[in-house]
Amino acid sequence: MDVIVRNVPANVSVRQLKAAFAAPLAECGIHDYHCEPFRNHPLAKITVLDSAVGDRFLSQYGVLARSPANARPRKSINCGGRTLRCGRSKDDPSDWSLKALRHEAAERAAEALARPVASKGKQQIQRRRFEVTGVHCGTWDYDGFDLVFTPETTHRQAGTIYFGSREAVLLFGCAGSDQLRIDFDYWACENVVLGGDHTQALRSHSGNLRSSTNSVRGEAAYAHEEETAWEFPNDPHAVTGTCRVYRISVASSDDFGHIRRLVQRTPKVPTNIAKPTRMVFPALPRHVITRRLHNDITDVKLYGSLSFHVRYQLDRLARNGRLSPLAVMALLPTVQRLCDFKRSQSVAYAISRLYLKLSPAGPFVESKIFSEAGLVDQLEELCETSDRYHHHLNPYELVKRHQHIKLIHKIIITPTGTFLHGPEPEPVNRVLRKYPSHTDNFMRVIFQDEDGGSVRYDSQATQELVYHGRFKSVLDGSTIIASQGFTFLGFSHSSLRAQSCWFMAPLVLNGVMMYPPMVLKELGSFDSIRVPAKCASRIGQNFTDTNATIDIEEDELFGMKDLTRNNYDFSDGVGTISLALLQKIWRLQEAIVKALRCMTADSVNTETFLEEASVSKVTQMPDLTGKLVWIGIDYRTDDFLGRIPVPKDFTLYGIMDETGYLQEGQIFVISETQAPRPSASATTLMLPSASGGKRVLVKDGIIITRSPAMHPGDIQRVNAVKVPHDSPLQSLRNVVVFSQHVKRDLASQLSGGDLDGDLYNVIYDDCLIPPITYQAAEYPRVKARELDRPVTAKDMGDFFVQFMQSDQLGMLCNHGIHCSRLLEDWHRNIDEKQFLKDMQKGRHLAIARHSHSDVLVTLHDYVLKFAAEYGESWDHQVELARDISSGYEDSFLDILYNYSPTAGTPLSETEVFSGTIVGRQGGAQGKPLRELGMQMRECFEPVAEYCRVRIVHGNQVIHATEYLDELYDMNEREIEALPRAIACPSVGINESGTIDPRLGELKSFQYIAAAVCLQELLRYRITTFGMYTLPKLG
């Protein structure tokens, strides 16, 4: 029988769930069972072999199916600070699920008998490869109360599925012939449903399809690059963009037991359940119903008269796969009726809330939610509550209160589909200001991979079909959204980096139909620009966000020529600024810098700043920072910093000498930082500047460079000189000034730098100056492709696609690392003999290594000293401390993988602990990244809080209480709180934590335990001695 468990904590692991049920199940005589927590759902399922003992278990620990929320069983089971509610499932377990349990029970009995035998150590290698007969792509649906699978396209061919540690790979075809490969990344899968008719179903956000072709000539096989495709086999209408359930038919039913044990023992595999589901074929193909829906919301005689906002939200429901097109068509009469009595913005907002409220259909969602009556009731309720309670959150009302923002709809283009998002408020630009009443005719189009990041470089596959097939066809064609056709308009420089651009639908202005070419002509004349990239850049300035504008008279405009010589640009397009405006900027900058310095002036200010910013608040890091100062440990005295300061060095912005005073080989360095005292050498001077408070470096033969210095010529030797006291250069600060009287500008010699904000390193330490310098590498400017005709939208679209495809910074960095390793090997081979001689002579370098736990060890010794003084023993709490550490790290590891912006690459421990996800090349950026970080923090907070409460109160008190917030009181002390608080950091410091192959050993538990330990020591002193401070470290 199956037991459904409700009120399960988020991110509970299988090990934690088994630990919670081990004793209750054993008490009822149950030793053979399966535990399956459902990811992202407060549910779990326990399958037991004997229904009689299962009923005995429910009689003690279960509640009836329709019991009130406050109903309690005779005996309770607690996990993660919650009381679990157990009840009998309405579905019977599948026959093969029970067969797998019987097989495991037989294996366990045989293993117990064979335990004394020496041959027991020889274990059978676990199978990971299984034969399949085909795959279906479709959706979940309901037939009454039963969950059914509706296939939309099918591929029948013998193949193989392989379950790896991070993904499952489905491969069809024989080696040496054309093959189809589908990759299912576990990170992108929601669940795995194991059926009873030789099938398993995976609901995935992305199934990456690749076709691999091998051509055989004679005895040798020449393997071509794999091509990443976006079309499912036998899917001419590309329904896979909205159909995300893949049903895989396994060849042999005997493999199900192996598959189930395999997926349960693989940590990264998502929630898997055993549930027989029927296959029900649709009456009409999905593309036919979708076409009917589009016709209904286009025809003005039907529902085409609805506002664009409403039609967009309806299209979003169907296009994003949240509802089937048939279900959306059933909602149309209700939407029309609501629009007759309410404002269209309110109805559109209610539909957008319905989209967010609905969970995708699946094994954990009740069928009544997706029934026609259920959807109508939900929409009417949301429409009513939106006006009454959520009026202030309505984005359509928000833009009415602010003139500098507009609601912008977004189209997400992926290799497999087109999805709609928004609308979201965005700052206005010149185009939106020019057509304020037609903002619905403009859309932001974003090109992404299926996981939400940009399409990343793959050394084993070519993305030609993605870039020049899928993406290029969108840029060259028209995308129909809610009966309006949107075509390419332009992009700004920032949107180009973010792989997004602007599309536009024709609009009527003063009785004239305006198309994208006509809108561009209204923005200015760009016919004289024949370079697509430059033309797109000039047009893109109109799409740059501008909250405020100023009017400039025509007679106030004048041109400034760049200083060029020998095809080198010395001024780099840098203009000038008036002294009055510059002084205003200085005053603002000085005020902000002063505020930032105050935040870190002492540890108390740092603690306050961290609390206000909610940085690591749940882990009590601000409190730990403050208490460490009490006992005499200041983080500012840490000798091991992220950057090693070089005393005789400056890192400064580079600018050009507008006065023309500096000659070739000369630079002017003026700094306002704390400079070292004047050197005893007559060749080095730090002269006071005429402006006061500044220092001017004067020294011959110093070096200047720029990071990264990949070429030997990226380091150049120059002379730092002084300038006259009345020179305008004396008014500068924290800059290095380059001469303009040279054959080649110095900035371009240093790793191809320029003057748009690059930082340069000026080093005048004689120990760091190389004896020789090399000629600088040539960094020629790439000559742009110039056309013999005006630039068209197609040309700019081609440039957009080429930029996306060539944006491979990560690949270039990896090749740079390989080149560095090659140089290291070369030098190692040259110096190998001398190195061996040095080793034989015993010439070893004493390198000081910094351990992360230095402060923690000091803190632990500090606490142990007072524990001995107070007579507190803690050894008996070590086992519980190990269990607390293990439970925390299990849940923490799930968060590291589940909330990473790039599939397959986990977050760092610091990111989760601090609550901030750092952007990655090719991963989610901007608002999606912030939303992901918010979800990650919401998931981590209960994990850290439960860990902290377990340390303070132990398991027994937690299991006996209903609300954890009521447990803590600073003026009350639990007898075992301090021993537990001492045992936990002791376990974290002296024993190894969970080790992940990608991340190494997890260490964050030590810091949570340290914060609780100091807190409990303070509470002990308050309740025992009435002392409200901690003694100094000594």
> For 134-156, how does the pLDDT look when each residue is reduced to its tens digit (9 = 90+)?
888 888 888 888 888 888 888 88
Q: Which of 347, 377, 400 is the last residue of a domain?
A: 400
Closest by Cα among 979, 983, 958 to 883: 983
Q: Which residue did the predictor score with more confidence, 634 or 15? A: 15
Q: Assess whether 394 and 449 both reside in one domain.
A: no
φ, ψ dihedrals at 673, nearest 5° = -80, 170
Distance in angstroms (rounded) separating the CA atoms of residues 172 and 248: 12
Q: Assess whether 997 and 873 both reside in one domain.
A: yes
Q: Which residue did the predictor score with more confidence, 772 or 576? A: 772
Q: How confident is the model at residue 845 (pLDDT cuts 50, 70, 90)?
A: very low
Closest by Cα among 46, 41, 80 to 61: 46
Distance in angstroms (rounded) separating the CA atoms of residues 98 and 440: 57
Q: Which residue did the predictor score with more confidence, 234 or 1010? A: 1010
Q: Assess whether 732 and 871 both reside in one domain.
A: no
Question: What distance lies between CA 918 and its chain's CA centroid?
Answer: 7
CA–CA–CA angle 553, 556, 558 (5° rounding):
130
Distance in angstroms (rounded) separating the CA atoms of residues 831 and 1: 71
Express each pLDDT in 227-285 by its tens digit. 444 455 555 556 777 888 888 888 887 777 778 778 777 766 777 777 778 888 888 88
Does residue 251 fall inside a structural domain? yes
Which amino acid would we find at residue 162? Y
Q: What is the DSSP string of 880-936?
A: HHHHHHHHHHHHHHHHHHHT-SSTT-PPPHHHHHHT-PPP-TTS--HHHHHHHHHHH
Express each pLDDT in 465-514 by its tens digit. 888 888 889 988 888 988 889 999 888 777 888 888 889 999 888 888 88
- Is the pLDDT reported for residue 825 higher than 60? no
Beta-bridge mates of residue 502: 444, 490
Residue 751: CATH number of its domain: 2.40.40
Distance in angstroms (rounded) separating the CA atoms of residues 90 and 145: 11
CA 249, 255, 256, 262 dihedral sign is negative
Q: Which residue did the predictor score with more confidence, 212 or 83? A: 83
Helix (H) or strand (E) holding 963: none
Distance in angstroms (rounded) separating the CA atoms of residues 995 and 986: 18
Residue-level pLDDT at 781: 65
Q: Assess whether 436 and 375 both reside in one domain.
A: no
Residue-level pLDDT at 214: 32
Helix (H) or strand (E) holding 198: none
- Assigned token pair, 984: 């936990």
Helix (H) or strand (E) holding 938: helix 926-960
Q: Assess whether 745 and 794 both reside in one domain.
A: no
Does residue 618 fall inside a structural domain? no
Q: Assess whether 802 and 860 both reside in one domain.
A: no
Average pLDDT estimate for 537-544: 81
- The three-state DSSP-derived secondary structure of 535-602 is HHHHHHHHHCCCCCCCCCCHHHCCCCCCCEECCEECCCCCCCCCHHHHHHHHHHHHHHHHHHHHHCCC
Q: Assess whether 246 and 303 both reside in one domain.
A: no
- Is the pLDDT reported for residue 404 higher than 70? yes
DSSP annotation of 224 reads P
Q: How confident is the prediction for the chain on average, in pLDDT?
A: 77
Distance in angstroms (rounded) separating the CA atoms of residues 753 and 751: 6
Lowest mean pLDDT segment, chosen from 58-72, 108-122, 367-381: 108-122
Using DSSP's 3-state secondary structure scheme, residue 717 falls into strand
Q: What is the DSSP string of 816-859?
A: HHHHHHHHHHHHHHHTHHHHHHHHHTT---------TTHHHHHH
Question: Do residues 414 and 531 lie in contact, with contact meaning Cβ atoms separated by under 8 Å?
Answer: no
- Is the pLDDT reported for residue 163 higher than 70? yes
φ, ψ dihedrals at 467, nearest 5° = -75, -55
Residues 6+ apart with CB under 8 A from 435: 441, 442, 507, 509, 519
Q: How confident is the model at residue 760 (pLDDT cuts 50, 70, 90)?
A: very high
Average pLDDT estimate for 111-119: 53
Q: Which of 363, 380, 400 is the last residue of a domain?
A: 400
- Assigned token pair, 990: 């002296």
Q: Assess whether 28 and 47 both reside in one domain.
A: yes
Residues 6+ apart with CB under 8 A from 295: 302
- Is the pLDDT reported for residue 456 higher than 50? yes
Express each pLDDT in 658-698 by its tens digit. 888 999 899 999 988 554 444 444 455 666 655 556 888 99
How many Cβ atoms from other residues are within 10 Å of residue 419's Cβ?
A: 18
Beta-bridge mates of residue 699: 684, 720
Using DSSP's 3-state secondary structure scheme, residue 280 falls into coil
Express each pLDDT in 777-791 by its tens digit. 876 666 767 888 888
Express each pLDDT in 873-894 by its tens digit. 888 888 888 888 888 888 888 7
Does residue 594 fall inside a structural domain? no
Does residue 571 fall inside a structural domain? no
Give the count of domains, the chain: 7
Q: Which residue did the predictor score with more confidence, 278 or 960? A: 278
Q: What is the model's pTM?
A: 0.68
- Assigned token pair, 910: 């610091």
Q: Residue 170 to residues 125, 156, 441: CA-CA distances in angstroms?
A: 21, 13, 42
Q: Assess whether 325 and 432 both reside in one domain.
A: no
Does residue 592 fall inside a structural domain? no
Q: Residue 321 to residues 41, 267, 364, 474: CA-CA distances in angstroms?
A: 20, 29, 17, 20
- Assigned token pair, 798: 């081609």
Closest by Cα among 352, 357, 303 to 330: 303
Lowest mean pLDDT segment, chosen from 321-325, 531-535, 1011-1015: 531-535
Distance in angstroms (rounded) separating the CA atoms of residues 625 and 1007: 11
Residue-level pLDDT at 329: 92
Residue 1002: is it exposed, middle or buried by C-beta count within 10 angstroms (0-12/13-18/19+)? buried
Q: What is the DSSP string of 395-441?
A: HHHHHHH-SSEEEEEEEEE-SS-EEEEEEEEEE--HHHHHSGGGGGG
CA 950, 955, 957, 959 dihedral sign is positive
Question: Do residues 482 and 312 lie in contact, with contact meaning Cβ atoms separated by under 8 Å?
Answer: yes
Does residue 884 fall inside a structural domain? yes
Residue-level pLDDT at 416: 83
Average pLDDT estimate for 543-572: 74
Residue-level pLDDT at 737: 93
Closest by Cα among 575, 732, 562 to 661: 732
Distance in angstroms (rounded) separating the CA atoms of residues 949 and 138: 45
Express each pLDDT in 48-86 by its tens digit. 888 888 888 888 888 877 777 677 788 888 877 678 888
Which amino acid would we find at residue 364? F
Q: Residue 685 to residues 277, 653, 664, 690, 699: CA-CA distances in angstroms?
A: 83, 21, 21, 15, 7
Which range of 220-224, 353-357, 675-679, 840-844 scores highest in mean pLDDT? It is 353-357
Residue-level pLDDT at 616: 58
Q: How confident is the model at residue 814 (pLDDT cuts 50, 70, 90)?
A: low
The domain in which residue 712 lies consists of 649-768
Residue-level pLDDT at 573: 67
Distance in angstroms (rounded) separating the CA atoms of residues 18 and 929: 34
Beta-bridge mates of residue 416: none
Distance in angstroms (rounded) separating the CA atoms of residues 181 and 169: 7
Closest by Cα among 940, 903, 937, 898 to 920: 903
Q: Assess whether 467 and 508 both reside in one domain.
A: yes
Does residue 608 fall inside a structural domain? no
Question: What distance lies between CA 882 and its chain's CA centroid?
Answer: 31
Lowest mean pLDDT segment, chosen from 240-249, 603-612, 833-842: 833-842
Does residue 860 fall inside a structural domain? yes
DSSP annotation of 664 reads T
Q: Assess whether 194 and 309 both reside in one domain.
A: no
Distance in angstroms (rounded) separating the CA atoms of residues 259 and 867: 51
Q: Residue 966 to residues 57, 353, 830: CA-CA distances in angstroms?
A: 31, 34, 69
Q: Which of 366, 385, 400 is the last residue of a domain?
A: 400
Helix (H) or strand (E) holding 308: helix 308-319
Express each pLDDT in 846-860 by its tens digit. 444 444 457 778 888
Q: Assess whether 838 and 859 both reside in one domain.
A: no
Distance in angstroms (rounded) separating the CA atoms of residues 372 and 362: 17
Residue 60: CATH number of its domain: 3.30.70.330
Residue-level pLDDT at 314: 92
